[in-house]
Structure 1
Amino acid sequence: PVGLSLMNAGNDAELAKKGGTKPNPWKPVLHALAQPVAWAPILAVVWVIIGIPWPAWASPSFDLIKGANASMAVFAAGITLSSVKVTVNWQAILGVMLKLIVMPAMLLIVGLIFKMSPDNLAMLVVAGALPPAFSGIIIADQNDTYVATGTSSLAISVVLFMAFCPLWIWITKLCVGNIPGVAI
């Protein structure tokens, strides 16, 4: 939702420069919230926080959608990766550093503050270091913004994750001691 709002605000700002009128700051937020890609995750978080049980009869349909969605996202990202030249620039490197270094480090610090179990902390830190979602490239491509840099950042992150994943497990193990089932 935040990313869509920022993209919509950026598009409105570009239109305002051409037309000379100041854009309404709430218009991009409302436009983003009108799209299922924005409100569906918010609804899911609220659903989980409230503690509403998931109906068993709905699971098969969503399992089918989940499988198709993941496959299509990878397919679409592959097409985008093949059509956009990967370039190493400061924005791509900054995105990679934020995703592979800053985000997992912040999650490790928060997990240590809240005394998470070693297993859960290790999973959280590694999940935080995972490369960015393919959906970001798809949304960027739909809005024709940040496609080349986003694609480059994704490609570099995927390659570097192979080194950062064991590194973050090792760092987490150093911080909390022995993590059951993890031998490094």
Structure 2
Amino acid sequence: MNYLKIVYFFVFILALNSCKKNDNNQVNRNSILTDSIAETDKKTIRAIGETLSPEGKETIKDWKEYQQLDDFLDNFYSSSPNEALNLSKELSHTTKQLIDSLKIDRFKQPDVSIRLNVIHNYALRLTDMSTIPNISPSEVQDETQNILDAFSSLNKKINNLAKQEKLEKELKGFTAPILIEEDSISINNPPTQQQIK
């Protein structure tokens, strides 16, 4: 009887010890992942493809939420994946404010709204990534690049709208003279046989 108690006791101790090792392995795996995200060589983030032209800057000069996002995105050019994840919640809040603050009439069109929503959705996805324990550094960097590329696309659209508006202002009131040739045929004077030949 004592022999069975001793065997059960050893089996219990071995099982308990095995559970502790599994917990320690999981903790070690998570800390290694966190360390690898923190210590990963910073992948070069491509510079933003399109910045605002002077005309584009003029159109958004009173849109402070755009300027806040532009300034905030500077943090992501040199951030590590871990830093990007830490900034993600604030980024998603800033992009939401950008959408809610759109008051410029010429930007209230679907192609601008779509670009704003794309930036916000990428920011939300980055925020979600911060809660995933097994996320890889390259996935974080790719999502960061998506955000910057979407912002570049917004800048391109703003530049195009500003250029279009400038062109419309230049053409407004401009009338080209209508030139009429003396030999032209009019409805009131039908062509003669000589003109037809």
Coarse TM-score class (shorter-chain normalised): under 0.3
Q: Whose Rg is larger?
A: 2
The answer to which structure has the higher helix fraction is 1
TM-score, normalised relative to structure 1: 0.24
Greater length-normalized contact order (CA 8 Å, ≥ 6 residues apart): 2
